[in-house]
Structure 1
Amino acid sequence: MVKVKQLRWSMLVLFIAGVTINYITRNSLGILAPELERILHMSTQEYSWVVAAFQAAYAIFQPICGWALDFIGLKVGFFIFATAWAVVCMLHSLATSWQMLAGLRFLMGVTESVAVPANLKILTDWFPSKERSIAAGWAGVGFSFGGMLAPPLVIAIHLNYGWQAAFVVTGFMGLIWAGIWKLYYNNPKDHKLISEEEKAYILDEETVRSTEPLKTNLWTSIKDICKVKKFYGVAIPAFLAEPAWQTMSFFVPLYLATERGMNLKQIAIFAWLPFLAADIGSAASGYLAKMYRGKFSLSNNNAAIWSSISGACLMISLAFVPFVDSPYAAIGLISIGGFGHAAISAMLGVLIMENFDSNQVASVNGIRGFSAWTSAFLFSLLIGKVVPSFGYNPIFLCMGFFDIIGAAFMLWLIYEKGVRTLNSK
């Protein structure tokens, strides 16, 4: 059988395609929010409950999904969850009330919560440690690329075929991808298309940690992880970072419509720009970490932290959104924040890979995701309370400074003091 050169990168592209569809399906709600509020007679507070239903499920089930992937494997586990999220997305077309929509969003959160723990699972399975920061940056592109594609795609389907079709078409895309994943994906030990040279490159390096399947049950795994001090060096920054990303995904289109006076077509033209910036920020963060590692002889861990801190500094741009009159300037500032958030998110994944065994990374990332999405859930409820009375200005001011606080926790809890590396390349 003919072997594929650099197969690990094609595995990453396959994963990125799946996460892209994952984010198109989830962001469909935010894009259609102005229309759905009218059609289903929702208030902004009721819409915040719909969003919060998704976020609550996403938070609760990420640790469970992470453990499941470590326990039964990425190939089968991701296929099951991807098939389920595609079907649930298509069922959104049947919603007739905000309560029904909230129930469907809860199920969507259950099924789509697999994406975050799966991200690190594929990186640790397929990439040696010296390539993981760059691979993590590119893997994060899928999370924002889907958000970038969603506005023009979803609105085009809606304008031509109705809002129900937008959910059916994007869900069907997920079903097609799930079938491709099941046929093509496998781990490097068992993949029929990998060359012996690439397999040795991935599996035989000294820094590879345990690849044996996880043996502990869910509760024991969670307790063991939560005892590790370094875990909080990623969990707390994740808690503080996620509100900004969820606001971009679910509330910025509504903000542009209600506060900046944009119609649906204008939103389709401009609402994807923060996600394009996030694509660039995610990919750039790995190269930025590599630069820090080479220029300052930093360890992989410390270089990832400084790349993340760079992203946190850019997040301050969100605090200036209330002070600009032009909606285009507001979108520009939000886009800078999108760049910064994606850099932080990608590097948090690298920090997990650097500090935990490979048979734990999906579980650790799942619990990190629980922390992040618990914050997102609470912040969405806060938006529902604050915006009707005070508008979005207090929300943007808070989001501008959350990540600087998170960076301080990184430096305190996980930074390796006095550590340098001679192998900076």
Structure 2
Amino acid sequence: MEQNNLGGLGTKPTQKRWFVLFLVCLITFVNYLDRANLAVAAPFLSKDLRLNAAMMGVIFSAMGWSYTIMQIPCGWLLDRFGPRLIYGVALVGWSLITTAISISSGFRSMIAFRLGLGFFEAPAFPANNRIVTAWFPSKERGLAIGAYTGAEYIGLALCTPILTWLLIKFGWRSIFITTGLIGVACAFIWFAAYHDPAKFKGVNKAELDLIKKGGGLSDTVVEQKKVTWKEMKYLFNSRQLWGMYIGGFANAAILFFFMTWFPSYLVSEKHMAIIKVGIYGALPYLSAIAGVLIAGKWSDWMISKKYSLGMARKLPVIVGLLLASVIIGANYSNNVNVVITFMCIAFFGQGMASAITWALLSEIVPKELVGSCGGTYNFITNLGGTLSPAIVGYLIATTGSYAAALVFVSSMGLLGAFSYIFIIGKPSRILIPD
């Protein structure tokens, strides 16, 4: 008979943390579906609303403006009120905004709705990091973070053909109505099912002890914690964190090219029919899923074999970012199969890098500032995601092709690898003195 969390010494640990991971993966799936649906709609939407490449670049970036600005406040809110309330409210908000995009009539309304989307999506990844840090021991954390990171790409890979079908059959507005309603339904599931470890029904003491002894923060990350401004300085005076901030900035710039301009690149630059985009466009996302899973397992395997934390958590990221830089090879071929191959390699590498970055962050963040540090990391990281679509749009508008844009994306891979190799150094937990 399953024990509750008040007893059960010597009993087999329950497995509630894996159900929590399923919930996080589900919400992350929805989160990225609602971020990237515009990329699928863009070729038709831009013609219908008479939006040129520079205007679309601004629209793609608009979500990142509010998303980035809200990262540090959202980290504080998560430390103050916990992920159940903040994540749940955010999910409802961004789902309703997604649905409302279907009534857009032009440039200004698209900007307004994308700003709203970014505002409500801001708590997502700081919340994911806080939840996994609270629920999972270190030896399982790479797999857990890899799983929810993989959920980003699963949504994009599996739903790109479906969203393309909706686009062709019912028009671009149907994409936003459908994805928004899916999010509202998931909000009900979240509020009904999620609680922090100490309050989660059915979790026993053995599982809580397993998490704590393995480096999880099951009993130290609590709701209603007051964070002082004196403690916040530790978010900005660490070389380790600045190395991660720069690497995250570069990685996000690569990701947001795929999340925004990639379908339009296939249609405009490589002259691919929209129905083929739904099929070929899913292949890089599937490659990213493979990269996430391989990197997560590889990193956890190195941890289990007693490799250093730096080797286990940094090496997959470095390899991934270097692979992402090969995207520049697509500039030298017009063969669709060759182009897609370069894109698949690049997105495989981006997936590898994404799988472990949050795992490394969870190993070095001060335990008193899990949410705030996650928010700060996501703030600086998403400057890359915010700037990237606008830079790509500007380069397309001024040069008339995507060649310079791919050079920019490739350079971000090299910058990120440099940061992980030379700036972070030997990772260790940052301690705040009493």
TM-score of the two chains, using structure 2 as the length reference: 0.90
Counterpart selection for 2:377 from 368, 377, 392: 368
Partner of 1:306: 315
- Measured in 1, the distance between the counterparts of 2:222 and 2:311 equals 27
Counterpart selection for 1:317 from 326, 329, 340: 326
Counterpart selection for 2:268 from 245, 258, 263: 258
Partner of 2:406: 396
- Is 97-106 or 147-156 further displaced after alignment? 147-156
Partner of 2:226: 215
Which SS does the other structure have where 1:78 is aligned?
helix
Partner of 2:357: 348
Partner of 1:229: 239
User: What is the deviation of 1:375?
Assistant: 2.0
Whether contact under 8 Å (1:301, 1:350) holds in the other structure is no
- Measured in 2, the distance between the counterparts of 1:359 and 1:138 equals 25
Which SS does the other structure have where 1:140 is aligned?
helix
User: What is the deviation of 1:2?
Assistant: 5.6
- Is 298-307 or 260-269 further displaced after alignment? 298-307
Partner of 2:6: none
Q: Summarize the Cα distance change of 1:207–1:255 in structure 2 as closer, same or farther, 3 Å threshold.
A: closer
Q: Summarize the Cα distance change of 1:14–1:72 in structure 2 as closer, same or farther, 3 Å threshold.
A: same
- Measured in 2, the distance between the counterparts of 1:365 and 1:353 equals 9
1:170 and 2:206 aligned: no
1:54 and 2:63 aligned: yes
Amino acid at match of 1:289: S
- Is 129-138 or 148-157 further displaced after alignment? 148-157
Whether contact under 8 Å (2:71, 2:123) holds in the other structure is yes
Q: CA RMSD in A?
A: 2.1
User: What is the deviation of 1:165?
Assistant: 2.0
Amino acid at match of 2:226: K
- Measured in 2, the distance between the counterparts of 1:159 and 1:64 equals 40
Partner of 2:157: 148
Amino acid at match of 2:340: I
- Measured in 2, the distance between the counterparts of 1:79 and 1:63 equals 18
Residue deviations 1:69-114 (CA, integer Å, cap 9, x gap): 1210011110010000011001001101121111100100111122
Partner of 1:242: 252
- Measured in 1, the distance between the counterparts of 2:215 and 2:256 equals 38
- Measured in 1, the distance between the counterparts of 2:374 and 2:345 equals 25
Counterpart selection for 2:135 from 126, 129, 145: 126
Which SS does the other structure have where 1:395 is aligned?
helix
Partner of 1:409: 419
- Is 204-213 or 177-186 further displaced after alignment? 204-213
- Measured in 2, the distance between the counterparts of 1:161 and 1:358 equals 49
- Measured in 2, the distance between the counterparts of 1:107 and 1:220 equals 31
Q: Summarize the Cα distance change of 1:253–1:11 in structure 2 as closer, same or farther, 3 Å threshold.
A: same
Partner of 1:378: 387
Which SS does the other structure have where 1:189 is aligned?
helix
1:31 and 2:40 aligned: yes
Aligned-pair identity in percent equals 25
User: What is the deviation of 1:141?
Assistant: 0.8
Amino acid at match of 1:265: I
Q: Summarize the Cα distance change of 1:267–1:187 in structure 2 as closer, same or farther, 3 Å threshold.
A: same
Q: Summarize the Cα distance change of 1:322–1:75 in structure 2 as closer, same or farther, 3 Å threshold.
A: same
Amino acid at match of 1:258: S
Which SS does the other structure have where 1:211 is aligned?
coil
Q: Summarize the Cα distance change of 1:398–1:328 in structure 2 as closer, same or farther, 3 Å threshold.
A: same
Partner of 2:337: 328
User: What is the deviation of 1:205?
Assistant: 4.3
Which SS does the other structure have where 1:159 is aligned?
helix
Which SS does the other structure have where 1:261 is aligned?
coil
User: What is the deviation of 1:401?
Assistant: 3.3
User: What is the deviation of 1:294?
Assistant: 5.2
Counterpart selection for 1:190 from 196, 199, 204: 199
- Measured in 2, the distance between the counterparts of 1:207 and 1:72 equals 19
Structure 1 segments unaligned to the other structure (5+ residues): 420-425
Whether contact under 8 Å (1:314, 1:337) holds in the other structure is yes
1:280 and 2:286 aligned: no
- Measured in 1, the distance between the counterparts of 2:232 and 2:96 equals 30
Which SS does the other structure have where 1:96 is aligned?
coil
Amino acid at match of 2:65: A
Counterpart selection for 1:88 from 97, 100, 106: 97
Whether contact under 8 Å (1:307, 1:347) holds in the other structure is yes
User: What is the deviation of 1:377?
Assistant: 2.1
- Measured in 2, the distance between the counterparts of 1:72 and 1:382 equals 36
Amino acid at match of 2:196: N
Q: Summarize the Cα distance change of 1:401–1:294 in structure 2 as closer, same or farther, 3 Å threshold.
A: farther
- Is 220-229 or 243-252 further displaced after alignment? 220-229
User: What is the deviation of 1:220?
Assistant: 5.6
Residue deviations 1:348-401 (CA, integer Å, cap 9, x gap): 111111111344222212211211221222222222221123211112123223
Whether contact under 8 Å (2:2, 2:14) holds in the other structure is no
